[in-house]
Amino acid sequence: MELSKVLYTARATAEGGRDGRTATDDGKLDLTLAPPKELGGSGNGTNPEQLMAAGFASCFHNALKTVARRAKVSVDGSNVTAEIGIGPLTGGIPGYGLTAALAIHLPGQTQEEAEQLVATADRVCPFSNATRGNITVTHTVTV
Q: Give the residue extent of every domain in the chain.
A: 1-46, 48-142
Task: Please classify residue 137 by burial: count the beta carbons closer than 10 Å to its beta carbon, then call 0-12 exposed, 13-18 middle and 19+ buried.
Answer: buried
CATH class name, domain 1-46: mainly beta
CA-atom Rg of the chain in angstroms: 17
In angstroms, the first-to-last Cα distance of the chain is: 33
pLDDT in tens, the chain (143 residues): 899 999 999 999 999 999 999 999 999 999 999 999 999 999 999 999 999 999 999 999 999 999 999 999 999 999 999 999 999 999 998 999 999 999 999 999 999 999 999 999 999 999 999 999 999 999 999 99
d(CA 32, CA 65): 32
Helix (H, G, I), strand (E, B) or coil at 97: strand
Domain 48-142 has CATH 3.30.300.20: yes
